[in-house]
Structure 1
Amino acid sequence: MDLTEVIDAYLVESDEFLRDMEAILLRTEVSSPTDEDLNAIFRAVHTIKGTAGMFGFESTVKFTHVVENLLDRLRSHEIPFQQELTEILLKAKDHLSYLVNEETKGKIPESKITHGNSILELMKPFQSIDADNSVKNGSHKEIEKPTQKKTDGGLAGSNALTSKTNTNDVIPGYLISFRPNRNVFAQGLDPISFIGYLKKIGKIHSLKTITETIPISDEYDPESCYLGFEIHFVTDSDLDTVRKVFNFIENDSFLHILPPGSNIEDLVDLSQQLPEEEILLGNTWKEINILTDASLINYFEELKGRKTGIVTSSVPSADPVTAALESPLEILEFKNPTQLTKDQNKSATIKVDSKRIDNLINRVGELVVSCANMNQLIGYTEDSNLQESSLLAMRLLNEVREISLKLRMVPIGDTFQKYTRTVRDLGKDLGKEIKLITEGNETELDRNIVDKLGDPLTHLVRNACDHGLETSEEREKKGKPKQGTIKLNAFHEAGSVVLEITDDGNGIQKEKVWQKGIDKGLVSGPLPDSEEEVFKLLFHPGLSTASKVTNVSGRGVGLDVVLQNIESLRGTITVKSTPNQGSRFIIRLPLTLAIIDGFLVEVGKNQFIIPMDMVLECLHFTDENKTDSNQFFPLRGNLIPFLRLKDYYPTESSGENLRENIVIVRNGEKKAGIVVERLLGEYQTVIKPMGSVFRHVKGVSGSSILGDGNVALIIDIPSLFERTIAVENERLYK
């Protein structure tokens, strides 16, 4: 049997649990954990342990077992939470992350097992803290759970959850309410197999299948699971053993287990949590021998005695059983309105292989190109009905395109979260107090871009910690807060996503950077007024302004790679800095790498595409528009540089004497003009990567195949900006 897909699901689920665990542990450094926090950490480790056990991952199970014991005692308040535990549990989380990922590939090396044992040794002193000495030296024994006090209003027999076959035959049992996730079949799981496994540890006394949620025929999906189960289960095993049967399916399903000793009030609470909007639970539980007529009568008589107002009418003496069964309907058969609203608004999620989404987007992209070509051809006809149908098809296709692109959009917050740990650890290593602030966590970005942002962001954050921020003593001397601050921010702007990495440290000394550039032969002459020209030197390989080399940075390796990675994503990076106030690195990225809205232009016989989100306006252009001998264009009282596209991309002349046009574009806060011969209008296009032969060609970010089969180059506006500025600087300083 191929378990590849199931193991992949285990890895994804474990990664989510471990990320949440780390976030909670980092919060405990500034505030004590709540009961909910401790329960969440315990559930994470407990679930990973159970799933690893199903796959036979012995190393993971052994390690998590000891960690789970400690967390169990913490959440039950047998031992107090101490700050020293944060560091130990973070180390345990890191080691568990290694085990989860590596044990799926093969056996864990002995050196790593030893490392894990050393972490467990650190837990022993905390395990031995116990007022009644029930646990010593890291050993663990089960703590007996107190049983609920039996009341007259409980269920039948000596145990509350029982069934009576006659007045003397009492069968103790569990009530298991099980509602598998709708998408359980798509995950490769069979709910019946989990129910069947119960027979290995006990006996299924009776079972009722819940069918109320099966939709009408038009809405029925044969690949979805609509069934639920109410099970009366008899066993000598404890609650944890019964729950472990459902470990692998519990996280995505509704599962509630009431042990022997529960009473009708527990059933009332359960009835308000079940997913069904309406179900005759009183009759269902009576049918599987969880409830009895006598227990219901006792319960409602007790309610009347308490004067709770739930039962307002007396039970007729003629048929007390019938009356008692009718009275609890609003309690046992219907959910409260709050729970109904909550469940109705709950959205369902499914896990889909990312390759399928990529294939979908690629096909939609090809369809966009074909439809654009069709519209061009139809535009030459005079058939109004055909043109109207074409426009409608294009509008619907645009909606499909937007929906498909959103499938691959993910919030940047998950990426930002992992740097909390990075900043914390670096602060301790460097002896600095550092606080990380994140904003714009909900900003969405293409998953493919997010995956490739990890290394650049990590390097910039590490640089900010090491180079940017001063030590606490230096900050106090400058009158700054003792604790340095690094801020990660993300927001949408003009069809792009902007990421900012800001620190309130030393700032970058322009004179020092320029002198380093001179020493390496990269530049010459006096310090220029342009801050951008100076800071561009930071991205040259081997250039570093660090006074000493550390384990973190200082060798001049990294920012050049950051620039390469950002440019490979069709993005740009700029730097702003103020001495003694801090620095800000600004990254601009496209929303997606797949499909863009472009503006199609023509020069000679070749066509080019300019990203639409960078186009501001188009104007008629003649040589009289130029100012003296320089390449500047007057635009409403301002002068902006411009270039002729044919000067950068030699093309074969079309033979026509066409008037020129200038396309005003912007990159960040700057504007420039691009002179072309013909404006062809908006054009949606699929971006195709350039071949390895053209990988280093400047000014081109990709290509696209047009509807007529011709190839159009996609203009890299930031690269053209650099070349334009360089040409103008060369002319000015000659």
Structure 2
Amino acid sequence: MNLDLGDALQTFFAESRGLLQDMEEALLRLENTPDDAEAVNAVFRAAHTIKGSSGLFGLDDIVAFTHKAENVLDRVRNNEQALNEELIGLFLGCRDHIERLLDTTADGVEMDADTRQQGEVLASRLSQYMGQSAATLPTETEAPLQSVGGGQVAGDTWHLSLRFGQDVLKNGMDPLSFIRYLGTLGEIVHLSTLDDALPDAAGMDPECCYLGFEIRLRSGADKARIESVFEFVRDDCQLHILPPGSRLADYINLIEALPENNARLGEMLVACGAVTQRELDESLALQECESARQETLQPLGEIMVERQIVQPELVDAALSRQKEVRHRQSQEARFIRVHADKLDSLINLVGELVIAGAGVGLMAARNKDGAMMESVSGMARLVEDIRDGAMRLRMVEIGETFNRFRRVVRDVSKEIGKDIELSIGGAETELDKTVVDKIGDPLTHLVRNAMDHGIESADVRLSRGKPAKGTLQLNAYHESGGIVIEVVDDGGGLNRERILAKARDKGLIQAGDNLADRDVWNLIFEPGFSTAEQVSNLSGRGVGMDVVRRNIEALRGTVEIESREGVGSTFRIRLPLTLAIIDGFLMGVAESHYVVPLDMVLECVELSACANRNEGCDYLNLRGEVLPLLRVKDHFKLKGRSGRRENVVVVTSAGRKAGLVVDELKGEFQAVIKPLGTLFERIRGISGSTILGSGEVALVLDVPALQDEAARAGSAGVTA
């Protein structure tokens, strides 16, 4: 089998970053529930897995540092070290350092001096916790075990039950020589001679051996080394070796840390050293014989316990680990890892298939071929199913992105000295992975800004009758075929007068301008605009909010603000679910074609003569509701003959309605979104383009931007 080491290394980097994310989430849970044993185990497993995988690739720096962190984590797992806020902070720092080491290795560069110094500082702090343990914390001793011979087994000694066969002397073997050799591995602290198999004097054969021995051995050797002492007499004796009771916890820890490819009970017990390969083979052979005779399969663990090969506690630990591994593998078996580029290629091919299908359908309609049109209709349904399936492949839950902000909130709140709690809602909401990857930076800026400027200090909050702890919320939900992401804080809100004063100073508005709240709040998105009285490490320099809006608009999204002074603010981001293929509604205006997302279309009505028109502005009385209109032909200054009648496409976005006046209604249309070139990216009201079956280009309308135009024009018309 040919193995591409480069691919394996990239897989290691991807999996390690996922494990570091799991480690961070578990550590943040431990801040609130320090007694959560499962979270502690999750942190330990992540560190242990990264260390083991790093060793396979010879990444010694990662192995050495992670081993130090793992040692302290092991003490926490064994309740030898209390977990407090300081230690959790240290582990978070270790997690960040491991990530830096991974990034350095992935980039193929040498570790810089700052990274090395940070690692030395963290390692020194970890060593302090290891140094404290030996001086202050006693080791717990397990209860003594019952031996085969009926005696007590000391907690720190190996117990050997040895029964020599009667022919051992005839085969030239001296039993005492093996016991003397056993003494070279450590100290024989107790030896009992058993004569229960000794016959009467009349039936005794002087050349036969009838004795057995119960031995307690204090030794640092492992089980396989002790068993090898009796290698030449294994066929002439019965040997059972039980490890020291004080080592049970070590064996259990080894079992829990085993890689997941050891999923069988016997393999796990051999891998941790509790059972030798010979003992496993003998137990398996006995199991096979018993099942053939009784037609029932006795569990392997029961056989080993009955034969005094291993303690029941170790079997239980191995079975528990086996169950955990099989459950995780069954879950992972449902997923396959696919490179994002392959998914992008698939989406592009599906998009081309949609365009080609539209072309075939147009040709069939022109030729008025009924049979072909029926076939095209069936193919179109299949293409739509393929399109939906391909799009679902790229849909991911936004909860993973939200959870990353737990660390941001923790670190920033400590930096600025505020007690802030993060609340997450709608974590299961799904959207395109491309959108998820690009929304992280705008969200980070909004979150940090809300914590620094939005939420007040504890004394100010208490003086205003609020709880000392501030609350920051991240919410997500679906609306009108898109997704809404909210950043909500219960802070002081935006100061309208301060924003207006700053805007006048910068010449953005005139002294007599009367702006609605929404227009006032939007001023903070102007480049260089800031009302912060002091510049901090987080914000206040007047950069960032304009970039936030620009990045969101690049995703064909919008951002709006709701704020009440003294109560709090809500930043609401509206995004499309996907940037690739949408269900659209096709319209004709003059000689051009336009598309709007179908989810935004409420209804279509004929423009009647009762529509009011005033100074180039329209509005329509739609069943008692004033509907602002925007004539697409006039807005884009199109030339060409209009249709015999005009139609109104009623669209909605963010709870607002507007009517788009067009010439023709061409119906539903699967639109493959193509980005605009840099020459056209600043055209207001256009968010992209698509290709029709005829090969013509249709522009995708930016409905929120056109709604703003229609609302402003309609308001001016009504006032006039």
| Bucket of the pairwise TM-score, normalised by the shorter protein | 0.7 to 0.9
Identity %: 37
Q: 2:356, 2:376 → 1: CA distance?
A: 12
What SS does the corresponding residue of 2:347 show, helix, strand or coil?
helix
Q: 2:684, 2:18 → 1: CA distance?
A: 40
Letter in 2 for 1:568: A
Are 1:640 and 2:650 an aligned pair? no
Name which of 641, 645, 648 aligns with 1:662.
Answer: 648
What SS does the corresponding residue of 2:124 show, helix, strand or coil?
helix
Q: 1:347, 1:486 → 2: CA distance?
A: 37
Name which of 529, 533, 550 aligns with 2:519.
Answer: 533
Name which of 68, 71, 74 aligns with 1:69.
Answer: 71
Cα deviation for residue 88 of structure 1 reads 0.9
Letter in 1 for 2:109: G
Q: 2:56, 2:607 → 1: CA distance?
A: 72
Q: 1:165 to 1:442 in 2, by over 3 A?
A: farther
Name which of 270, 284, 304 aligns with 1:291.
Answer: 284
What SS does the corresponding residue of 1:693 show, helix, strand or coil?
coil
Q: Which residue of 2 aligns with 1:675?
A: 661
Q: 1:253 to 1:596 in 2, by over 3 A?
A: farther
Letter in 2 for 1:250: P
Question: Which protein has the larger Cα radius of gyration, Structure 1 or Structure 2?
Answer: 2
What SS does the corresponding residue of 1:488 show, helix, strand or coil?
strand
Q: Which residue of 2 aligns with 1:3?
A: 5
Name which of 122, 129, 133 aligns with 1:130.
Answer: 133
What SS does the corresponding residue of 1:551 show, helix, strand or coil?
coil
Name which of 259, 268, 277 aligns with 1:250.
Answer: 259
The runs of 5 or more residues in structure 1 that have no matched partner are 136-141, 171-200, 206-235, 268-283, 298-319
Are 1:499 and 2:472 an aligned pair? no
Q: 1:26 to 1:628 in 2, by over 3 A?
A: same
What SS does the corresponding residue of 2:133 show, helix, strand or coil?
coil
Q: Is the 2:254–2:272 Cα contact (8 Å) retained in structure 1? A: no
Letter in 2 for 1:635: L
Q: 1:165, 1:600 → 2: CA distance?
A: 93
Q: Which residue of 1 aligns with 2:569?
A: 583
- Bigger drift between 719-728 and 6-15 goes to 719-728
Cα RMSD, aligned residues only: 4.2
What SS does the corresponding residue of 2:91 show, helix, strand or coil?
helix
Name which of 36, 44, 48 aligns with 2:38.
Answer: 36
**After superposition, what is the alpha-carbon deviation per residue over 1:150-198, rounded to whole angstroms, capped at 9, x for unaligned?**
6699xxxx99999x9999899xxxxxxxxxxxxxxxxxxxxxxxxxxxx
Q: Which residue of 1 aligns with 2:405?
A: 419
Letter in 2 for 1:93: R
What SS does the corresponding residue of 1:456 show, helix, strand or coil?
helix
Q: Which residue of 2 aligns with 1:15?
A: 17
TM-score, normalised on structure 1? 0.76
Are 1:107 and 2:110 an aligned pair? yes
Letter in 2 for 1:42: F
Q: 1:666 to 1:66 in 2, by over 3 A?
A: same
Cα deviation for residue 289 of structure 1 reads 3.4
Q: 1:72 to 1:665 in 2, by over 3 A?
A: same
Are 1:593 and 2:587 an aligned pair? no
Name which of 710, 713, 718 aligns with 2:699.
Answer: 713
Q: 2:391, 2:352 → 1: CA distance?
A: 14
TM-score, normalised on structure 2? 0.77
Q: 1:60, 1:443 → 2: CA distance?
A: 36
Name which of 101, 104, 116 aligns with 2:119.
Answer: 116
Q: Is the 2:586–2:596 Cα contact (8 Å) retained in structure 1? A: yes
Q: Which residue of 1 aligns with 2:396?
A: 410
Q: Where does 1:211-222 land on structure 2 (aligned, <5 Å)?
A: none
Letter in 1 for 2:259: E
Q: Is the 1:573–1:586 Cα contact (8 Å) retained in structure 2? A: yes
What SS does the corresponding residue of 1:570 show, helix, strand or coil?
coil
Q: 1:678 to 1:152 in 2, by over 3 A?
A: farther
Cα deviation for residue 431 of structure 1 reads 1.2
**After superposition, what is the alpha-carbon deviation per residue over 1:47-96, rounded to whole angstroms, capped at 9, x for unaligned?**
11111122222221221111111111221223232332011111111111
Cα deviation for residue 324 of structure 1 reads 4.8
Q: Where does 1:322-333 land on structure 2 (aligned, <5 Å)?
A: 323-324=293-294, 326=296, 328=298
Q: Where does 1:262-281 land on structure 2 (aligned, <5 Å)?
A: none
Bigger proportion of residues as helix: 2
Letter in 2 for 1:531: D
Cα deviation for residue 538 of structure 1 reads 1.2
Q: Which residue of 1 aligns with 2:236?
A: none
Cα deviation for residue 347 of structure 1 reads 5.0
Aligned residues: 618
Are 1:359 and 2:345 an aligned pair? yes
The runs of 5 or more residues in structure 2 that have no matched partner are 151-157, 176-223, 229-242, 304-318
Q: Which residue of 1 aligns with 2:382?
A: 396
Q: 1:22, 1:544 → 2: CA distance?
A: 33
Q: Which residue of 2 aligns with 1:259?
A: 269
What SS does the corresponding residue of 2:667 show, helix, strand or coil?
strand
Q: 1:369, 1:548 → 2: CA distance?
A: 55
Q: 1:550 to 1:731 in 2, by over 3 A?
A: farther
Q: Is the 2:643–2:664 Cα contact (8 Å) retained in structure 1? A: no
What SS does the corresponding residue of 2:132 show, helix, strand or coil?
coil
Q: 2:710, 2:626 → 1: CA distance?
A: 14
Name which of 479, 486, 498 aligns with 1:512.
Answer: 498
Cα deviation for residue 543 of structure 1 reads 1.1
Are 1:610 and 2:613 an aligned pair? no
Cα deviation for residue 565 of structure 1 reads 0.4
Q: Which residue of 1 aligns with 2:475?
A: 489
Cα deviation for residue 24 of structure 1 reads 1.4
Name which of 556, 559, 568 aligns with 2:545.
Answer: 559
Q: 1:16, 1:576 → 2: CA distance?
A: 36
Q: Is the 1:544–1:555 Cα contact (8 Å) retained in structure 2? A: yes
Q: 1:260 to 1:23 in 2, by over 3 A?
A: closer
What SS does the corresponding residue of 1:514 show, helix, strand or coil?
helix
Q: 2:34, 2:411 → 1: CA distance?
A: 20
Q: Is the 1:148–1:262 Cα contact (8 Å) retained in structure 2? A: no
Q: 2:710, 2:131 → 1: CA distance?
A: 71
Q: 1:388, 1:587 → 2: CA distance?
A: 42
